[in-house]
Amino acid sequence: MRALLCLLLPLTVFAADRPNVLWFVVDDMSANFGCYGEQTIATPNVDRLAKEGVRFSRAYVTAPVCSPCRSALITGMYQTTIGAQHHRSGRGELKIHLPAEITPTPKLFQQGGYFTCIGSGLPDLDFRGLPFGAAKGKKAKASGANRLGKTDYNFEWDASIYDSHDWSGRKAGQPFFMQVQLHGGKLREGSDAARVQFRERIVRELGAGTDPNKVTLPPYYPRDPVLLQDWADYLDSARLTDMHVGRVLARLEKEGLLANTLIVFMTDHGISHARGKQFLYEEGAHIPLVIRGPGIPAGVVRPDLVEQIDLAALSLAAAGLGVPAWMQGKDILAPNYAKREEAFSARDRCDETTEKIRSLRTDKFIYILNFHPERPLLQPCAYKDGKQIVQQLRELHAAGKLSELTEKLLFSPTRPREELYELAADRWQVRNLAEDPAYAAVLAEHRQRLDAKMIATKDPGPESMAMYDSDMKPYVGKGNPEVERNIAQMKRWAAEGK
C-alpha cells in the first residue's frame, strides 16, 4: 500500500523519510589518508568513514582542475559534453549555458522536497576551519558576509538552487542536501608570511608539524628542501581537513542526524603540484572517495573504476528521486549496477594556457593523447609559475641540478603525442610504453576506445578565438603582465600550428 501511495502522491509527501545527503568536497588533495595507505600522518576521521562505509580505490575526476570538475560533478555530466571544459570559462562577455535538458543536481533535490545548502558544515568556522571573518579584504567577504561554499561552475546558473549555507535553516523534518566545501590543499599556499602562519596554526591546533625529512615524494621530484617542506605542509593540510571532517561528524551525531545521512567524502582533483593538478596522471586525476550511510555496508573496498560524475546519480537515487535519463553519471551503489570498464578524463585550457589532453583508464592501463605534443608539459602559466615549488623546479632546471628522469618528464621541450602506462607496475607513470612494439596491440585498442569515447560524449573542437579573447578580457590591462605575455605566446604557438 505504501508503495502504491508513493506512486500517486508528490515526492515531497514522504520527503522526511528520505536520508539526508552530505558531500565533503575538498580542494587540491590526493588520496593521502591512512585508509589509502598514507603512513606519514594520521587521519582518523576519514579513516572512520572508510571503516564504517565503502572506500573506492580507483575513483577519478573527469577533469583535474577545479571549475571543469565542479561543473561536471554538479550536473553528473562530462564537462566536455556540456561545453564547460575550459577552466574559468564563460567569465567574460560570452557566456556558457547548459543544454536545455540539463538541470543542476541541487535543483533536482529541491524539486524533490530537499533543503539545499552549501557551506562549511559548521556554524562558527569557515571553509578553512577558521572563525568566520578571520580574514581581511577579499577573503573576508568569502569567509564572513557570504557563507555559501565554493561553486566555481563554468556555466550560467541560478543562485536560488541553494537555499542556504547550512542545513539549520530547513523546516522541521525536512531532509537536506549539503555540500561541505573545504580549502584542502590550498590551505598551505600563499605568500611566505601566509605559509609561516599556516605552520604556526598547525603547531597550535595539532601540536606539531609533519617532519619534511619523513615525507615520500614521487620519484620525479628532487628531495629539495623547498619541495620537502611543501609536501609536509600539504600533509598537514590533510590533517586539518580530517579534523574538520571530524567536527562535522560530531555535529551530525549531536543533532541525531548521523544515522540517516548519506556521507560522501571526495576531492575535486589531486594535489596541486607540477605533474599533479591540471594533468591526467594519477597524481592529478586519482581522488579519494568514501561513502558511508544508511544501507551502505561497512569496511568494504571497491577496486572498480568510478568517475566523480557518478556522485550526482548515486545521491539522487539514494534520496529516492531517480536518475535522469540524460545524466551520464551512474548509480554505482545500485544492485544491478554494471561496473565501468573504463574511466575518461580531459584537460583543456587552464586560465590563459591553452591545452587539450585526453585519457582513458582501463583495468590495467592508462592511455593519454596529447593534442599539442610540440609544446612542453609545463607551458607558461601564471598560476602554476607563481607557486614556490614550480619556481624552485625551474631554478634547479636552469642550474642543471635535476635528474635525467625529472628533466625528461617535466622539462622536455616537447612531449609524446601518445602515452601508455601499465598502472600496477608503474605507479607514477614514468615508463611510456607507447613506442614499445610489445604493447602495439594494447596501444591500438586504447586508441580506438578513446576515439569512441570522445565521439560518444560529443567532445568539442578547439576553443574559438572569440571565446578565448572574451575569457582573457578580465586579465588584460589589469596589472597582470605575465598573463598578458602568456596570452601572446599562446597565440603565437597557435599561429605556428603548435
Q: Could you read off the pLDDT of 397-409 as tens digits, one per residue?
A: 999 999 999 999 9
Cα 144–Cα 149–Cα 32 angle in degrees, nearest 5: 115
Q: What's the one-letter identity of residue 157?
A: W
Residue 255 lies in a domain: yes
Is residue 8 pLDDT above 50, yes or no?
no
Listed in sequence order, the DSSP H helices in 255-385 are: 282-285, 310-318, 382-385
* Residues 474, 93: Cα–Cα separation, whole Å: 9
Residue 108 lies in a domain: yes
Give the rounded distance of the alpha carbon of 486 from its chain centre: 25
- Is 370 found in the same domain as 274? no
In this prediction, residues 371-377 reach a mean pLDDT of: 97
Instruction: List the grid coordinates of 129.
Output: 576551519
- Range name among 48-57, 133-142, 223-232, 422-431 with the lowest pLDDT average: 133-142
Instruction: List the grid coordinates of 345.
Output: 578524463
| Residue numbers of the domain that contains 372 | 357-495
Is residue 417 pLDDT above 80, yes or no?
yes
* Residues 476, 191: Cα–Cα separation, whole Å: 24
* Residues 248, 255: Cα–Cα separation, whole Å: 11
* Residues 291, 311: Cα–Cα separation, whole Å: 10
Residue 348 lies in a domain: no
**pLDDT at position 135, please?**
59
pLDDT band for 133, please (50, 70, 90 cuts): confident
Residue 422 lies in a domain: yes
pLDDT band for 17, please (50, 70, 90 cuts): confident
Is residue 7 pLDDT above 60, yes or no?
no
CB 32 within 8 A of CB 38: yes
- Is 376 found in the same domain as 297? no
pLDDT band for 249, please (50, 70, 90 cuts): very high
- Is 302 found in the same domain as 434? no
Instruction: List the grid coordinates of 279.
Output: 594533468
Question: What is the tens place of the pLDDT at every residue in 24-69?
Answer: 999 999 999 999 999 999 999 999 999 999 999 999 999 999 999 9
- Is 184 found in the same domain as 100? yes
- Is 387 found in the same domain as 317? no
Question: What is the tens place of the pLDDT at every residue in 325-360?
Answer: 999 999 999 999 999 999 999 999 999 999 999 999
Average pLDDT taken over every residue of the chain: 94
* Residues 317, 329: Cα–Cα separation, whole Å: 11
Instruction: List the grid coordinates of 176.
Output: 537536506
Cα 147–Cα 149–Cα 153 angle in degrees, nearest 5: 135
Query: Considering its fold, how many domains does the chain have in total?
Result: 2
The whole-model pTM stands at 0.94
- Is 333 found in the same domain as 362? no
- Is 396 found in the same domain as 301? no
In this prediction, residues 255-268 reach a mean pLDDT of: 98
Residue 442 lies in a domain: yes
* Residues 472, 88: Cα–Cα separation, whole Å: 10
**pLDDT at position 15, please?**
53
pLDDT band for 279, please (50, 70, 90 cuts): very high
- Is 363 found in the same domain as 335? no
More confident residue, 134 or 28: 28
79 conformational bin, left if phi > 0, alpha if psi -120 to 50, beta if neither: alpha
Question: What is the tens place of the pLDDT at every residue in 187-213?
Answer: 999 999 999 999 999 999 999 999 999
CB 284 within 8 A of CB 64: yes
